[in-house]
Structure 1
Amino acid sequence: MKSLLNIPIVFENHQPSEFLKKLSDYFPIVIQSRNVFQFENTEGKGQILTLVIEPGFEVELLQLHFTEDLHIHPKPTEQNSRWNVSICNDYIYPGELFDFTPNNYPYCVVLSSSMANTNRIFPANKQIFSFSLTFSKEWIEQNVIQDLKEEASERLNEIIESHEPIFMMDNVDIDLHRIVETLLNEDLYQQNTKLLFYKTALDLTLTFFKKIINKSIFIPSAQNFKKRDIQKIQEINEAILKDLTKPCPSIEELSKAVGMSTAKFKTLYKAVFNNSVYNYHLNERLVQARKYLQSGKYTINEVAYMVGFNYPSSFSRIFKKTFGQSPLQYMGLHYEEDQDEKS
């Protein structure tokens, strides 16, 4: 086996299988299952999961630890034939590539095209985490763009039709962080959790492209939004969502808390989350309520109070308007599904 010291791993950009193949020159790779690979020697250890969701759509999960710095040099392609979305530790890309203000999450989100020069360093004696989705250009066109409305389709098409290398980094926000937490709270490498990756990959895809379309991530500097202001908006939103039993604070209270005028706060919040504070907060309450109802542990009245509604009748009315079912109908549907699974 070769030594990692001062020798970069070079492979074709956005080809997870090629990275794994090159890594095997340095480590004895053990196949744990069809999609999971492990390695360990004196220079490092880790687990890698690679999974083809369908042709043109692949998942890669890296959890690594090295005793020497590992330099990764993907070779750019001549055209942007493949695209990659990664949630990873925010220290694995050279610092000069980004200028965002670190937030409470130890991750960043990266969008890159296969033409991009995306050299990375996996530093020694740190836990490396990276969850990546790789798409072919054709997959995005067939599975995302064609289902979008005209304006959204133009926004995304403008990105993937670029003939220049594209590399963008930004903070992970609360929605993307929740997806990471879903992964980290599971026993990822058990065969019976394979479906988790399908679901998580699709959740991340939907969330990510929605943010791209709504310009709530990789916000262009031309909009004159300071990164620190965006950071403040994300932090205050996270604070609101920590206790959904409390009513949403007023715009005046929130704007004062972050040192902005109410007009600037509303404009920036809308740009980041593509929604008003009240509607975003209400949606989160209802999503949480649905989880409580699905668990079968609580009555409808209990759930209403748990997500901050003073009147269960108001909760039921808004729930039905949002989801097309009353809370009682929703509980009945999931009760029947549970019975079907048990039979």
Structure 2
Amino acid sequence: MRTILTNLDFQDAMIIKDIPDKVPAAEGIIELSLESRLKGIYGQQKAYILDGMYVERNKVLLPKDTSVYVRKESPHLELHLELSGYTSFSPKGKTADSVRIPHASGLLLYLPELEGQLNFAKNDTRESLEVEFSEEYFTSIFSGDLETLGPFGKAIFNQEPIFQSNQGVRLSPQILQIVVDIQTCKYHSLLKKIYLESKIRELLVVFISQNQKLEIEQTGKRWSKADIEKLYAARELVAKNIGSPYSIVELSKQVGLNDFKLKKGFKELFGTTIFGYINELRMAEAKLLLIDPAHSIADIAYRVGFKNPQHFTAAFKKQYGILPKDIRMNR
């Protein structure tokens, strides 16, 4: 699997990723740690190559909005989780099919031909977890029965492009816990391979089931296409401004919905209130930051929008049932 990325600001700057479909290592896993520095853009990548899977954790400092042209010389099947930041993708020559993946949301996608433009919003630190599957391995997970995935499985079988939700599915606490488990895996060699494979399969199952449940819940909702687009725009604005959130009145003006319709539609479409969603995003980001001992608990509290660390500690315990310091004691 070869992927070529070109930064549109610096046409001569290219990244070529060659990923083997089979892992020759006796233990069945290859681990890579990479760093890149380019015109103020600093990135760290931790990657695992397993048979039929490529898992990459990205952490990139983006001092400005950045665009990258990407091309892959084989079909692309990926589960993309945007842990912190914002990404959009426009396939070549098909701007109507553009997709947006806001902060703390994910997307499952299949493209027989991957070529187009990736856009990343300015961010102190953008973080993502990306899992690429070979078609053979992905199909084997479902015992060769892709029909269980409905339209998504049918598209893979027919080699047709498909995005499971063009706006991204918000990441549940269960999904974020699996991400933390993947990041903090302490096993080595064969045990690490077995552990990561099981966690990625769990991640895939939970993500797909969450998305299917959301599709069922939204089937009976009577919202116009224009209103749904405005509600997704509201969610995107909320996700980009969790440190200094909009008031309901401000958000209503920004997206062009009255406050009653905004609050009611947001709850029905996304299964949570606007302020509940803000709290979920803050707690999710805090949980990921707690893994890094370089950040004090007080610093994390301020970073996710709390002026008082004690208020942050109380909110974190209410969300996850444990104190922030317990996360570090268990790692």
The TM-score with structure 1 as length reference comes to 0.47
Bigger-Rg structure (1/2): 1
TM-score (norm 2): 0.49
